[in-house]
């Protein structure tokens, strides 16, 4: 399948729930399967890889762009999170996305909205220790988007590995019948995981950032987590939230029954929080 859409192809945009439902009905009218990629916008090549993969699995692809306030604490970067709707839609059109859903806050959380999903299991620890509101916000918005779009398949990046595990648990527990597909992390040539928040890095910080991936590989190859933390601190990382080795399936502690392991990390470089993970 080609990586670019035909010149005559046009990605449709919708902003309201009635318009989305009408568009989804149209996409399904010929029996087409629907792949879905939920995003917060500021799209990069990692997002486009998710769309391409969804296209390889399904007849039609829907992408949502919504900066979800429920997953941001009052001290976090909701207001300054990068936004570029025109650029995002152009990128999506270039890879053949069929429909872009661009809801506003009042569409997803209308007046008198009072529900929120609380997750346990893979949502406990790691990110939750530092962003306790995060996975409740993720689970709530993803559940709403899944019910609105009604996809057959949804594709997520493994860079947000704990989030992927939480979404899989959500879909399993609520019998949503959606196939959740994880795509390996897309990286720059120097190993830095692609992220919308990389735009916050100064040139000096950008030169340091790949050391996170290097440190994870060093641990995987036999080095200690403590030595890696010390090296990252010397390199200029201001704060290490966590570097942890976990069961890749449950995200719990390693046990004799563990079949695969995942090394996960979150660190601050200047004012930017970077996360990464690798199989270990």
Walk along the chain (280 residues) and give the pLDDT tens digit of each residue.
Answer: 445 665 557 899 999 999 999 999 999 988 999 999 999 999 999 999 999 999 999 999 999 999 999 999 888 889 888 899 999 999 999 999 999 999 999 999 999 999 999 999 999 999 999 999 999 999 999 999 999 999 999 999 999 999 999 999 999 999 999 999 999 999 999 999 999 999 999 999 999 999 999 999 999 999 999 999 999 999 999 999 999 999 999 999 999 999 999 999 999 999 999 999 999 9
3-state secondary structure of 32: coil
Please say if 213 is a catalytic residue: no
47, 53, 147, 213: the catalytic one is 47
Looking up tokens 């919504």 gives 66
Listed residue (144, 138, 145) closest to 169, CA to CA = 138
Q: What's the residue count for the chain?
A: 280
Q: What is the value of pTM for the model shown?
A: 0.94
CA dihedral of residues 120, 242, 192, 45 (deg, nearest 10) = 20
Q: Which helix (H) or strand (E) holds 24?
A: helix 17-28
Measure Cα distances from 106 to 69, 103, 112 in Å: 11, 8, 10
DSSP 197-239: GGGG--HHHHHHTTHHHHHHHHHHTT--HHHHHHHHHHHT--E
3-state secondary structure of 186: coil
Helical residues (DSSP H) of 43-189, grouped into ranges: 45-57, 85-94, 105-108, 127-130, 134-149, 161-173
Q: Are strands 239-247 and 261-269 parallel, antiparallel or unpaired?
A: antiparallel
């Amino acid at each position: 399948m080609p990586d670019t859409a035909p010149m005559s192809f046009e990605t449709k945009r919708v902003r309201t729930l009635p318009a989305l439902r009408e568009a989804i009905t149209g996409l399904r009218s010929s029996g087409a399967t629907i792949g879905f990629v939920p995003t917060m916008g500021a799209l990069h090549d990692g997002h486009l890889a998710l769309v391409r993969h969804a296209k390889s699995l399904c007849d039609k692809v829907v992408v949502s762009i919504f900066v979800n306030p429920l997953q941001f604490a009052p001290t976090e970067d909701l207001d300054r999170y990068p936004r570029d709707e025109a650029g995002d839609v152009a990128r999506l059109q270039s890879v053949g996305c069929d429909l872009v859903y661009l809801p506003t806050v009042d569409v997803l959380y209308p007046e008198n909205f009072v529900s929120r999903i609380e997750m346990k299991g893979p949502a406990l620890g790691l990110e939750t220790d530092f962003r306790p509101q995060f996975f409740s916000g993720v689970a709530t918005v993803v559940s709403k988007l899944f019910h609105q779009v009604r996809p057959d398949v949804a594709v997520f990046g493994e860079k947000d590995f704990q989030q992927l595990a939480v979404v899989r648990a959500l879909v399993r527990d609520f019998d949503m019948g959606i196939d959740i597909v994880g795509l390996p992390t897309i990286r720059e040539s120097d190993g830095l995981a692609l992220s919308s928040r990389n735009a916050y890095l100064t040139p000096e910080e950008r030169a340091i950032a790949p050391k996170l991936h290097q440190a994870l590989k060093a641990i995987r190859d036999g080095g200690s987590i403590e030595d890696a933390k010390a090296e990252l601190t010397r390199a200029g990382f201001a704060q290490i939230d966590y570097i942890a080795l976990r069961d890749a399936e449950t995200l719990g502690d390693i046990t004799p029954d563990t079949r695969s392991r995942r090394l996960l990390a979150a660190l601050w470089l200047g004012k930017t929080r970077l996360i990464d993970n690798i199989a270990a």
